[in-house]
Amino acid sequence: MSKQSPETWPNDPGLKPISGRWSARSDVTPLQEDATADLVKSADGSDGGDTAGHDEREGDGTAGHDESEGDGTAGHDESESGGAAGRGGEIRQSAADAAAEFGAAADEVDDAAAGLLGVNRTDLRILGLVSAAGAMTAGVLAVRARLSPAATTAAIQRLAAAGHLRRDVDPADRRRAVVRVTAEASAMLDLAYGPIAEAGHRLLTAYSPAELTLIVDFLRVGRRMQLDQAARIRAAAASREERQAGI
């Protein structure tokens, strides 16, 4: 089975192991809600114009009657507009809830995969990064995993002792050492994540190209938002550490 790119492995920022976890679907989007609201407003305006012309033709004798009907129509229009806005809010909340549930379900998969290999989530992330790259130096791995050199060395030692990583000489520079995922660990990663790719692609066949385009756009925008928020949190943590150190 082919290896996924680094961005598609467990806990890599923003994306989960494979696209097959797209499970939530909404037949009505916020854009469709806005279009519906515009149509309602347009219809209200044309109805108001017809009523006004009818009022002028009828004369002053029915002015009071027309005014009361106009007030009733206005109230009805406001009620419809309020209802459309309420439905739009409900759909947006449902979408937000579905996205949160999607992320929670993805975490469940990663927890299960970590249990299969007998590792913690940080070590699972390291295995995913090394497996996707084929081989990595400890320095590059530390940067990709956002770990300190000491923490990366400790993780490599744990994974090597568990039989999940092996040290090797870098064929491009024999002065450097690299780490690789063992055949046994690679087989377990494929067992955990391989079927997700197949199931995901089967799910995607139920969607039209237009729907898939919308889904891809949502996921990419959402990924960018998540990365921005992660950067914000890291900056807050760094600022806090500086204050505590008296810098």
State the Cα angle at 104 between 103 and 109, rounded to 5°. Answer: 95
Contact 128, 11 (CB under 8 A): yes
pLDDT at 12 over 50: no
pTM: 0.61
Considering only CA atoms, which of 38, 47, 54 is closest in space to residue 72? 47
pLDDT of residue 60: 53
Task: For residues 199 and 170, give the distance between their C-alpha atoms in angstroms, rounded to a whole number.
Answer: 36
Task: For residues 247 and 102, give the distance between their C-alpha atoms in angstroms, rounded to a whole number.
Answer: 41
pLDDT at 114 over 80: yes
179: helix, strand or coil? strand
Considering only CA atoms, which of 179, 168, 171, 172 is closest in space to residue 131? 179
Considering only CA atoms, which of 8, 23, 177 is closest in space to residue 99? 23
Backbone angles phi, psi at 71, to 5 degrees: -65, -40
Task: For residues 236 and 239, give the distance between their C-alpha atoms in angstroms, rounded to a whole number.
Answer: 5
Q: What is the domain partition of the chain in residue ranges?
A: 29-57+64-107
pLDDT of residue 87: 84
Range of weakest confidence among 58-62, 120-124, 170-174, 226-230: 58-62
Amino acid making up residue 192: A
Q: What percent of the chain has pLDDT over 90?
A: 57
What's the sign of the alpha-carbon dihedral 46, 51, 54, 55?
Answer: negative
pLDDT at 116 over 70: yes
Structural tokens at position 95: 């979408």
pLDDT of residue 38: 38
Helix (H), strand (E) at residue 167: strand 165-169
Q: Which residue has the higher pLDDT, 136 or 54?
A: 136
CB < 8 Å & 24+ apart, contacts of 81-86: 81/37, 81/40, 81/41, 84/33, 84/36, 84/37, 84/40, 85/37
Q: Which residue has the higher pLDDT, 178 or 30?
A: 178
pLDDT of residue 170: 85
Supply the mean pLDDT for the chain. 76
Q: Which residue has the higher pLDDT, 114 or 84?
A: 114
Contact 30, 88 (CB under 8 A): yes
36 to each of 19, 208, 209, how far by Cα in Å? Answer: 31, 22, 23
Task: For residues 136 and 177, give the distance between their C-alpha atoms in angstroms, rounded to a whole number.
Answer: 8
